[in-house]
A and B are shown apart, each in its own frame.
Chain A
């Protein structure tokens, strides 16, 4: 028991400190970027009071915008006070799934930059099945999700197959396939099948109601059943890595492919299977996002999700549970940044700076270690480097 506590501390301490420290620097930047507060620097007492207030209000605004808004609760009921939390969860859901896709690849020694493209293909699959067919509700949504999983899986599996058969590096291939997916969806949305009858701009029809994921807390809040799917996927990845024989092969190849090969594990099989499952996870993300939040396929459906996912997986140290927390944190910061400008006048860009700082501190553990004088016991897996060399 003692052992697992130490292990737990090892994996959590570093992200936690990164988080705290990034917010600290973020606070300094908030003050520096505010002309009014900086104008008072000649009288230190006044300056400190207003700087403190400024930082406090800014972080409070992020909290209000991402978790709970007391004003909304007072005006329109306690449930609506949680509107921001609902938004955070809606933003986090696809991030969790794409993050899991990247994290699983990391653990198998692969660097999946392609969550973006796999997400797009998942959304395409779900969209087509969603608007083109008329089916009974449960069956329809299930099929639409499976369509997303399959298409994403194939799009990821191609990468694995190419690597296994020809040695093509997965980083290059996934980057190229991201471009391909982005251009493919633009073309696809202009075809007769996908273009909305009355529209000229690239936008597909909304999926039928029978294919939509059910809302959880009424029509006012956007939170939908996708979060349960994402959490189930996280559980699945945990089970896969920790308990299954397939995951054992994945981890073995990821940690030392020579030894895995010598013990009779087929590296080609692992590479292909891993990339298929990674693609399927990101594709599921695309399907869930489309069927739960967007309903209609648009060219910008993926935003920068596939890339945020890399950050999230890194933040979560490539573990499923860590990825879930990382995705929630990023989801909350993104949602919270919207209220930042309106409530306090602080630029929402500060949130991106904080995100970047968190990643920086996690990617460079030696930096934090020297700041906080932590002994070497903390695991500093250089995940990115591993993936690249794999």
Chain B
């Protein structure tokens, strides 16, 4: 089945999200749509899938004009979609989730046997491993995504839209997904692959359409270099590998000794971990998500409740202090989830910028906020950190992911700090913003601060770190230099010493 979009235009008020977009996806083709966050990729796909209606333009399936007013129309035409945020019920089993909305009954009772066998046959056809009776909440993210893919295939999707499918996956899961995509393609399914990750596009796509600011700016071949693709996407030259001068190490800033972290039911998450970071050094903790690295970051500012051992900043013990006092010993904390832990969506940008300093002079005087200072502080930081916003009084939820992260960085790095803790600082960001985050972290290193980078992106770790500590099941498997090979690093992350 082929899918063609002709002259799709969609406006939200004054904003033109899609401007006369033309696109053709052939049968059995993996067509990547590459663009920065906010370029209009998701809007376009929501139009194709019937979640939004285009202002003008037509959609053609196998050369015939079709009307898609709601997702049911899209499904009937053989168009399936896997959303960035999964649409699954966590307490249901795989089979229950898949039949949801198309349940078959026998004498008034739900009958899953047919669905289960179909799931098994699809799984074996495409070489997935999946248990139809497993509860979705027990499954790793990568497997949950497969449930979504199977659901689309169950209803005979001939064109599968994958919206930022690798944003939530580990490197291994990403490789597995790319293999699944190749298998699907071999069986004749067309795939629209929405992403901003260049490596993946080059690895799997047949054709690449690049969208910038709602317009198609060009078609590219997978043979193009990453730099070429990135500059088309961003509209200017970008440095993917930042320029890193040699480290000038100072005294030890962070000294962690024999750290143990337990979760609320007493299970050990981090086991006997010792680490130190010197001024002017970036130490990366690399590992697949869920191996205890998030907890280490949280423990550094005492957000974790059950911790033993020692955490010293400049030789002063901080374990057991309040979060507030830990931050004030000179830690900048960039949390893993900017939406959940970094920002308050309904607060203005200006208010978010004083979240941790709101009761200190000069932000406050005599228990009262000093609005003139808050305003000038926000104006200054928005300028310095290049936050793209119409007003400093806009809610932070109105910002794009990259700009949200810039607000977090601006707040945390504008305090006087000695240690920067950055947890997955570029997750879900576009190339331009990633470049910005890298620059800022390297600037902190050059300013003689200690930086703890927690990341599951191998490229990121390799580009930024001076030393890489690989974590697996709560233990450091080994500490290596940044010249280590990708393969070795990948193996260590899988637990091989």
Do chains A and B stick together as partners?
yes
Residue among A3, A244, A246, A260 making CB contact with B355, cutoff 8 Å = A260
Q: Are A262 and B345 in contact (CB under 8 A)?
A: no
Max count, chain B CB within 10 A of own CB: residue among A245, A246, A260, A265: A245
Number of A-B contacts (CB under 8 A): 72
If the complex has contacts A245-B367, A248-B358, A264-B324, are A258 and B340 also in contact, measured as CB distance less than 8 A? yes
Residue among A245, A256, A261, A262 making CB contact with B369, cutoff 8 Å = A245
The reply on A132 being an interface residue by CB < 8 A is no
If the complex has contacts A245-B369, A249-B358, A252-B355, are A259 and B343 also in contact, measured as CB distance less than 8 A? yes
Q: Which residue of B lies closest to A3 (CB)?
A: B393
In the bound complex, CA of A302 to CA of B259 (Å) = 55
Q: Which residue of B lies closest to A239 (CB)?
A: B368
In the bound complex, CA of A244 to CA of B358 (Å) = 9
**Chain A interface residue count: which class?**
20 to 34
In whole Å, how far is B353's beta carbon from the nearest beta carbon of chain A? 11
Residues of A within 8 A of B327 (CB): 263-264
Residue among B322, B342, B358 making CB contact with A259, cutoff 8 Å = B342
Per-residue A-contact encoding for B348-371, CB less than 8 Å = 1, 0 else: 000100011011000010011100
The reply on A255 being an interface residue by CB < 8 A is yes
In whole Å, how far is B370's beta carbon from the nearest beta carbon of chain A? 10
Interface size on B, residues (CB 8 A): 30
Residues of B within 8 A of A261 (CB): 303, 323, 341
The reply on A9 being an interface residue by CB < 8 A is no
Q: Are B341 and A259 in contact (CB under 8 A)?
A: yes
Residues of B within 8 A of A243 (CB): 368-369
In the bound complex, CA of A344 to CA of B340 (Å) = 57
The reply on A33 being an interface residue by CB < 8 A is no
Residues of B within 8 A of A252 (CB): 344, 347, 355, 358
Residues of A within 8 A of B335 (CB): 262
Residues of A within 8 A of B328 (CB): 264
Residue among B322, B340, B367, B393 making CB contact with A266, cutoff 8 Å = B322
Max count, chain A CB within 10 A of own CB: residue among B342, B345, B346, B358: B358
The reply on B333 being an interface residue by CB < 8 A is yes
Residue among B303, B324, B333 making CB contact with A265, cutoff 8 Å = B324
In whole Å, how far is A200's beta carbon from the nearest beta carbon of chain B? 51
Residues of B within 8 A of A245 (CB): 358-359, 364, 367-369
In the bound complex, CA of A377 to CA of B167 (Å) = 31
Q: Are B303 and A262 in contact (CB under 8 A)?
A: yes
In the bound complex, CA of A266 to CA of B322 (Å) = 8
Q: Are B368 and A244 in contact (CB under 8 A)?
A: yes
If the complex has contacts A256-B344, A258-B341, A259-B343, are A264 and B356 also in contact, measured as CB distance less than 8 A? yes
Per-residue B-contact encoding for A282-305, CB less than 8 Å = 1, 0 else: 000000000000000000000000
User: Which residues of A from 227 to 260 have beta carbons under 8 Å from B?
Assistant: 243-246, 248-249, 251-252, 255-256, 258-260
In the bound complex, CA of A256 to CA of B341 (Å) = 8
Q: Are A262 and B341 in contact (CB under 8 A)?
A: yes
Residues of A within 8 A of B355 (CB): 252, 259-260, 263, 265
If the complex has contacts A245-B364, A245-B368, A249-B358, are A262 and B333 also in contact, measured as CB distance less than 8 A? yes
Residues of B within 8 A of A262 (CB): 301, 303, 323, 333, 335, 341-342
Q: Are A266 and B324 in contact (CB under 8 A)?
A: yes
Q: Are A255 and B346 in contact (CB under 8 A)?
A: yes
If the complex has contacts A244-B367, A244-B369, A245-B367, are A264 and B322 also in contact, measured as CB distance less than 8 A? yes
In whole Å, how far is B61's beta carbon from the nearest beta carbon of chain A? 32
User: Which residues of A from 41 to 100 have beta carbons under 8 Å from B?
Assistant: none
In the bound complex, CA of A265 to CA of B301 (Å) = 12
In whole Å, how far is B399's beta carbon from the nearest beta carbon of chain A? 14
In the bound complex, CA of A251 to CA of B322 (Å) = 20
Residues of B within 8 A of A264 (CB): 301, 322-328, 356
In the bound complex, CA of A245 to CA of B363 (Å) = 9
Residues of A within 8 A of B322 (CB): 264, 266
In the bound complex, CA of A252 to CA of B347 (Å) = 8
In whole Å, how far is A238's beta carbon from the nearest beta carbon of chain B? 13
Max count, chain B CB within 10 A of own CB: residue among A252, A255, A264, A265: A264
Residues of B within 8 A of A255 (CB): 344-347
User: Which residues of B from 260 to 291 have beta carbons under 8 Å from A?
Assistant: none
Residues of B within 8 A of A256 (CB): 340, 343-346
User: Which residues of B from 412 to 428 have beta carbons under 8 Å from A?
Assistant: none
In the bound complex, CA of A264 to CA of B303 (Å) = 9
Residues of B within 8 A of A258 (CB): 340-341
Max count, chain B CB within 10 A of own CB: residue among A251, A256, A259, A261: A259
In the bound complex, CA of A91 to CA of B127 (Å) = 72
In the bound complex, CA of A243 to CA of B355 (Å) = 14
User: Which residues of B from 288 to 339 have beta carbons under 8 Å from A?
Assistant: 301, 303, 322-328, 333, 335
Residues of B within 8 A of A244 (CB): 367-369
Residues of A within 8 A of B346 (CB): 255-256
In the bound complex, CA of A265 to CA of B356 (Å) = 7
In the bound complex, CA of A255 to CA of B348 (Å) = 12
Residues of B within 8 A of A246 (CB): 367
Q: Are A260 and B344 in contact (CB under 8 A)?
A: yes
Residues of A within 8 A of B351 (CB): 248
In the bound complex, CA of A258 to CA of B347 (Å) = 14
Residues of A within 8 A of B358 (CB): 245, 248-249, 252
In whole Å, how far is A109's beta carbon from the nearest beta carbon of chain B? 11
In whole Å, how far is B303's beta carbon from the nearest beta carbon of chain A? 7
In the bound complex, CA of A249 to CA of B333 (Å) = 19
Max count, chain B CB within 10 A of own CB: residue among A244, A246, A251, A262: A262
In whole Å, how far is B467's beta carbon from the nearest beta carbon of chain A? 26
Q: Which residue of A lies closest to B359 (CB)?
A: A245
In the bound complex, CA of A251 to CA of B326 (Å) = 22
In the bound complex, CA of A24 to CA of B16 (Å) = 41
Residues of A within 8 A of B359 (CB): 245, 248-249
Q: Which residue of A lies closest to B340 (CB)?
A: A258
In the bound complex, CA of A248 to CA of B347 (Å) = 10
In whole Å, how far is B477's beta carbon from the nearest beta carbon of chain A? 28
In whole Å, how far is B305's beta carbon from the nearest beta carbon of chain A? 12
In the bound complex, CA of A245 to CA of B340 (Å) = 22
In the bound complex, CA of A260 to CA of B303 (Å) = 12
In the bound complex, CA of A252 to CA of B340 (Å) = 12
In the bound complex, CA of A246 to CA of B369 (Å) = 9
In the bound complex, CA of A264 to CA of B323 (Å) = 5
Residues of A within 8 A of B344 (CB): 252, 255-256, 259-260
In the bound complex, CA of A243 to CA of B359 (Å) = 11
In the bound complex, CA of A261 to CA of B343 (Å) = 11
In whole Å, how far is B48's beta carbon from the nearest beta carbon of chain A? 23
Q: Are A259 and B368 in contact (CB under 8 A)?
A: no
In whole Å, how far is A177's beta carbon from the nearest beta carbon of chain B? 28
Residues of A within 8 A of B323 (CB): 261-264, 266
Residues of A within 8 A of B341 (CB): 258-259, 261-262
In the bound complex, CA of A248 to CA of B356 (Å) = 11
In the bound complex, CA of A246 to CA of B368 (Å) = 8
19 sampled A-B residue pairs with Cβ under 8 A: A245-B358, A245-B359, A245-B369, A248-B351, A255-B344, A255-B346, A256-B340, A256-B344, A258-B341, A259-B343, A259-B344, A261-B303, A261-B341, A262-B301, A262-B335, A264-B301, A264-B323, A264-B324, A264-B328
Given contact pairs A255-B347, A263-B327, A266-B324, a sample of 8 additional A-B residue pairs in the complex whose CB atoms are under 8 Å apart = A245-B364, A252-B358, A255-B345, A259-B344, A259-B355, A261-B323, A266-B322, A266-B323
User: Which residues from chain A sit less than 8 Å from chain B, CB to CB?
Assistant: 3, 243-246, 248-249, 251-252, 255-256, 258-266
Nearest 10 pairs between A and B by C-beta? A264-B324, A263-B355, A263-B356, A245-B359, A256-B344, A262-B341, A245-B364, A264-B323, A255-B344, A255-B346
User: Which residues from chain B sit less than 8 Å from chain A, CB to CB?
Assistant: 301, 303, 322-328, 333, 335, 340-347, 351, 355-356, 358-359, 364, 367-369, 391, 393
